[in-house]
Amino acid sequence: MGQQIDVNHLNVYYGGFLAVEDVNLHIAANQVTAFIGPSGCGKSTVLRSLDRMHEITPGAHVTGEVLLEGRDLYAKGVDPVAVRRDVGMVFQRPNPFPTMSIRQNVLAGVRLNNKKIAKSDADDLVEWALRGANLWNEVKDRLDHPGIGLSGGQQQRLCIARAVAVHPSVLLMDEPCSALDPISTLAVEDLINELKRDYTIVIVTHNMQQAARVADYTAFFNLKAVGQPGHLEYFADTSTMFNDPQNEEAERYISGRFG
C-alpha cells in the first residue's frame, strides 16, 4: 500500500546556495501528485529530497522535515539507503543496467543488496514486477536478453518494474516520459494510473497536458527571479489547478503566458 508524505518547512541547499525555500506540502497516499513549474524552480530538487537522492551531489543538505507516514526521513540515525528502499525513483532517461539481462535488471534491487533469494521466488518476483509494469507480455520470451536491447518506452517500463520490485510504498518519477515517443508515453501514463492502486506517486513533468491527464493533485513551483530560491507557489487538486486556479502566477503559467 502507498504511504502519505508530509513536507514541513523544507529548505534545500546546495553548499551555501538556497535552492528551494520553505516548502509545505501534503502528498496523499495512493494518489498521483504532479509537480509543475518553469525550469529551475526546484521541482526536481524537491522530488529528489523526498528519497534523499539529492545528497549524492556534494554539499547538498536540507532543513525541515519530510514525514513518510509520520516518520521523519531526515531524523538522526536514519540511513538514506533504507529511505531509498521505501521510496523508489524513476528517472528522466531510461537507465537499465547495460551489463544485465531483463530478468537481472528487475532483480537488481534485491540482488545488489546481497539478499539471497530462491530461484522460484525470483521467478515469481520478476513476473509480478513485469506484469505490474505492463511489460510481461512483451518480454516474457526473452528475459535473458540484455535490458538495453528494448525500445525506449519498454526500457522505461523495465525501470519502473525494477523500482517496483523492491516494494517501495512511494514511487517518485522525474519527467519519466520526456525522452519517450508519444505512444510509449501513453503506455507509461496508463501504467501510472494503475500503479496508484498500490503506490503513492509523485511525478515531475514539463508537460501540463500530462499533469492534467494523470495527476489527482498538482503542485505549482515558481521562482521570483533568476538566482532566487524556488518555492511552492500553489497547490490544488488537478481540476481546480487547470480549470479554476486561485493563483495568478499559476494561471499565467498554465495558460502559457510564461515558462
Task: Give the number of other CB atoms < 10 A from CB of residue 77.
Answer: 4
The per-residue b/e assignment along 29-51, b for 16 or more CB within 10 angstroms, e otherwise, is ebbbbbbbbbeebbbbbbbbbbb
In 40-144, the DSSP E strands lie at 60-68, 71-72, 87-90
Dist CA 197 CA 181 (whole Å): 26
61/85 with CB nearer another protein: 85
77/256 with CB nearer another protein: 77
Q: Residues 205-244 vs another protein: string with x where CB under 8 A?
A: ----------------------------------------
Grid cell for residue 23:
516548502
Q: Residues 121-140 vs another protein: string with x where CB under 8 A?
A: x--xx-xx--xx-x-xx---
Output the smallest distance, CB 90 to another protein, in A.
8
Q: Which of 222, 223, 254, 249 is nearest to 238 (CA)?
A: 254
Choosing from 10, 83, 215, 241, the residue that interacts with another protein (CB under 8 A) is: 83
Q: Which residues bind another protein (CB under 8 A)?
A: 51, 53, 56, 58, 79, 81-86, 88-89, 91, 93, 95-99, 108-110, 112-115, 117, 121, 124-125, 127-128, 131-132, 134, 136-137, 148-149, 159, 162-163, 165-167, 190, 194
